[in-house]
Chain A
Amino acid sequence: MSLRPSRRAALSAGAAGLASLLASGCDQIVSAPDARRFLRSAQALTIAAQRTLLSGQRLAREFKPSDMSPIFRTNGSTDPQTPEYLALKGANFSFYRLIVDGMVDAPLALSMQDLRLLPQRTQITRHDCVEGWSAIGKWSGVPLHEILTRAKIRYNAQYAVFHCYDVMPNREGALTPYYESIDMVDAFHPQTILAHTLNDAPLAVGHGAPLRLRVERQLGYKQAKYIKHITIVDRLDTIFGGNGGYWEDVAGYEWYGGI
């Protein structure tokens, strides 16, 4: 007994239809915003899974000095040219002030000297670029929770937003400041530090002088460099493109960079 012709024809038609859909429809499927939004629903699953697995503030691996990359490459902005930054750099960051404001009861303006007088942490960790490469370096700086606690962060605060001195082109090609954001789970993680030192030397301009974020359980684009200003907020949708970071707004990277 064989398949009846009608059924065979239906199957053939189905296969042909699928093939033509694959051949012609891919570009439309790729660019459809609804399809994109649907695909990004997987991100919610990733956050839920990782937050469950990472409960209890699990630490990223810390390596031995012998595990360190011989050369720690730079990436993204490596030499900001905004007048504001050039002036700071020209004065060796002596009049730099880290501003901490937003949903805090005690806004702060901290000099590099103030930051060095706070409790410090040193960690040898791996930096993972979204592109795929990794580098291991030794970072020293102030745990972010030390700063947020001193700023008397309010109970309904949700995110720390890092505004930076460097500018990058947006979708239209105009220059827009780099920024990034993390939630309070990562902001209060013991390895989340504002680093001023890499491999025992003051942070070079290429690595984000005078201060950059290290949030060790996420990818490189979350590690904001040239930090100017930290704002504590309860929502991200009103800031720049609304997706919580420069690359998130411009290229559609995931806000949660844990994968």
Chain B
Amino acid sequence: MTTVDEGLDAQLPPSKAPARERIYRHTLPTRIGHWVNVACIFVLLFSGLQILNAHPRLYWGQYGANHDAPWIAFETYRGSDGTPVGVTRIGNLAFNTTGFLGASDFDGHRVGRGLPGWLTFPNTRDLATGRNYHFFFAWLLVINGLIFLVISFARRHIQRDLWLRREELSLKHLASDIWAHIKLHIPRGEEAKRYNTLQKIAYLSVIFGLIPLMVATGLTMSPGVDAAFPALLDIFGGRQSARSIHFIVAMSVAAFAGVHLFEIFLVGAWNEIRSMLTGWYEVKPEKRP
């Protein structure tokens, strides 16, 4: 059997109906790790927005509070009739974002809130609960990630299936891969049995870029960790810079999740989700000439 996780070049069983060819794509540790990640990212994103909502302003530098200039802020003003008006400031620009950022509807009332209730977990203003969830799932994400890395390096999943091959890094190859994505080309046959180059780059940047950056900037916001590793404050340029980077990276992870879901629905949601549940992936046959 061919398994992407355990070697792309393994032998395929003889099959009389190539249209029905199935490969064992994801091993059990990968599948468990994936769904734990889904739960973690989901809870961390929305509980993180709950935490941001407690002070919906972001700064660069070592300090930053109400008297200092934010680079982005979701603020509430009162209109002439007293109703809240939402204003989003980015640098010197100001946008009226009433209904979404700065002021939104909650339980049928227009309220002043940095972020709307449907974006925060819990929906009500509850920083303490948001923090409880955030830190629990942060620990889970880190432990799950470390287990994934150990198992995947040991079984050569990362080296074999995710690591970029030399020929994949040629400009010509990258250009053709980008063009294939723009055309929403759906891989079939042999090419559907392995990850394409942009896909590998996306997975590698999340695993070795965004998530470690997320954890490191999250830890830099902890006064305890700062005392243990003061170098973090120099690397990220201060606690408030770390908080800003943490937010930007979170939005990048959310964007990755959005594109990931789009691709899954593009190439066949049922087949993709089943392969992440049972391991078995059905390869689309080559188009007949």
A residues near B (Cβ < 8 Å) are 1-3, 11, 15, 26-27, 30, 36, 38-43, 45-46, 50, 53-54, 58-61, 63, 67-71, 73, 126, 128-136, 216-219, 247, 251-254, 257-259
Q: How far is the CB of B52 from chain A (nearest CB, A)?
A: 7
Q: Which residues of A contact B227 (CB under 8 A)?
A: 54, 58-61, 216-217
Given A1-B20, A50-B225, do A40 and B67 touch, yes or no (CB 8 Å)? Answer: no
For the A-B complex, the count of residue pairs with Cβ-Cβ distances under 8 Å equals 141
CA distance A68 to B67 in the complex (A): 13
Given A42-B136, A133-B55, A252-B129, do A258 and B65 touch, yes or no (CB 8 Å)? Answer: no
- Give the dominant DSSP class at B's interface: helix
**In the complex the two chains form, is B223's CB within 8 Å of A251's CB?**
no
**In the complex the two chains form, is A218's CB within 8 Å of B224's CB?**
yes
**In the complex the two chains form, is B223's CB within 8 Å of A42's CB?**
no
**In the complex the two chains form, is A3's CB within 8 Å of B223's CB?**
no
CA distance A2 to B55 in the complex (A): 52
Residue from B228, B273, B280 with most neighbouring chain A CB atoms (10 Å): B228
B66 within 8 A of A: yes
Question: In the complex, what residue of chain A is closest to B17 when comparing beta carbons?
Answer: A1
Q: Which residues of B contact A126 (CB under 8 A)?
A: 62-63, 223, 239
Given A36-B132, A58-B228, A136-B62, do A219 and B67 touch, yes or no (CB 8 Å)? Answer: no
The residue from A59, A70, A134, A217 contacting B239, defined by CB atoms under 8 A apart? A134
Q: Which residues of B contact A130 (CB under 8 A)?
A: 54, 127, 131
Question: In the complex, what residue of chain B is closest to A186 when comparing beta carbons?
Answer: B224
The residue from A46, A50, A69 contacting B63, defined by CB atoms under 8 A apart? A69
B222 within 8 A of A: yes
**In the complex the two chains form, is B135's CB within 8 Å of A259's CB?**
yes
**In the complex the two chains form, is B226's CB within 8 Å of A60's CB?**
yes
**In the complex the two chains form, is A73's CB within 8 Å of B67's CB?**
yes
B113 within 8 A of A: no
The residue from B128, B224, B230, B277 contacting A11, defined by CB atoms under 8 A apart? B277
**In the complex the two chains form, is A253's CB within 8 Å of B131's CB?**
yes
Given A71-B67, A133-B66, A252-B128, do A216 and B223 touch, yes or no (CB 8 Å)? Answer: yes
